[in-house]
Amino acid sequence: MDTPNENLLRLRDVIARVGIQKSQIYKLMELDEFPKSVKLSYKVSCWVASEIDEWIENKIKQRDEELEKENNDDEEEDDQ
């Protein structure tokens, strides 16, 4: 079985990377709006680094699309 070599992040690393706190991370996970953790043992959970990076990239893309839409809406108002 070929498995990609994935880096796993502990919660403190996820918090540092995304800038939101533990409670918000778990709330977003419940809402299926944040990558799920991988349970390594009874007390240890980690996140796949590439999934966290993808989540960040999607948030940036979402922001850019919203800004573009706002700019297009402003241009349409100026044309009227």
> pLDDT tens, 60-80?
999 999 999 888 876 776 666
Residue 50 backbone dihedrals phi, psi, to 5 degrees: -65, -30
Question: Domain for residue 2, yes or no?
Answer: no
Count of structural domains, the chain:
1
C-alpha distances (whole Å) from 80 to each of 50, 66, 73 are: 45, 22, 11
Q: Per the confidence metrics, is the pTM higher than 0.85?
A: no
> pLDDT tens, 33-64?
999 999 999 999 999 999 999 999 999 999 99
Range of the domain at 47: 8-79
Question: Domain for residue 1, yes or no?
Answer: no
